[in-house]
Amino acid sequence: MQKCHSIMVTGKVQDIGFRSVVEHIGRSFGIPGLVFNAKDGSVKILCCGEDSVIDNFTQAIRVRGKESGAQIKRIKEIVLPFNIDLPDDFSKVSSDDEIDIGRKLDKGNFLLTTMIIDNKTGLDNVNAGLTDIKTGLNNLTTMMYEHNTRLEAILEKLANK
C-alpha cells in the first residue's frame, strides 16, 4: 500500500546541486514527490510510494548524494498519517525567496573575500620568488663580471707575449 513520507536530509546538502540529484533519483524510481531547500539548511522531501520503494529511494539518496559531494549527516523519514496529492513527476521546488537569495549572496561575498585574500597571499609569494630570482641574477652578473675581468687579464698577458 502506498503511503506518503516526509523525509528530511541534514548536513551539507544545500548549494551543491543536491536537489537535482534527489529529483533525478525520484524520477528514476517513478514515484510522485517534491524536493525543496528548507530555511534551516536541510533539504526536505515529500513523496509517496510503497515502504520498500521509499527505503530503496532513501538509500539511493545516501549513496548518490555522497557521490555528488553532499555531506549527509542524517536522513530522517516520517510516514505521514494522511495522503497528499503530489505531482506524478518527481519535481524540484525552487525556493529562492528573499532569505535564500540573501543567504546565497552572503556565501558568494564570503567566497570572493576568501579568493581575494588567497590571491594576495599568492601574489606575495610570487613577489618573494621574483625577489629571490632577481638576487640570484645579480649574483650571477657579478660572478660573470669578475670572470670576464680575469679572462681579459689573461688575454692581455697572452697578447703581450
Q: Hey, which residues are catalytic here?
A: 19, 37
User: What are the residues facing 3 on neighbouring strands?
Assistant: 49
DSSP-derived pairing of the beta strands 91-92 and 33-37? parallel
- Record the cell numbers describing residue 37, joined without a space: 531547500
Q: Which amino acid is at 111?
A: L
Element (H, E) at 11: strand 3-12
Residues whose CB is less than 8 angstroms from the CB of residue 99 and which lie 6 or more positions away in sequence, other chains included: 39
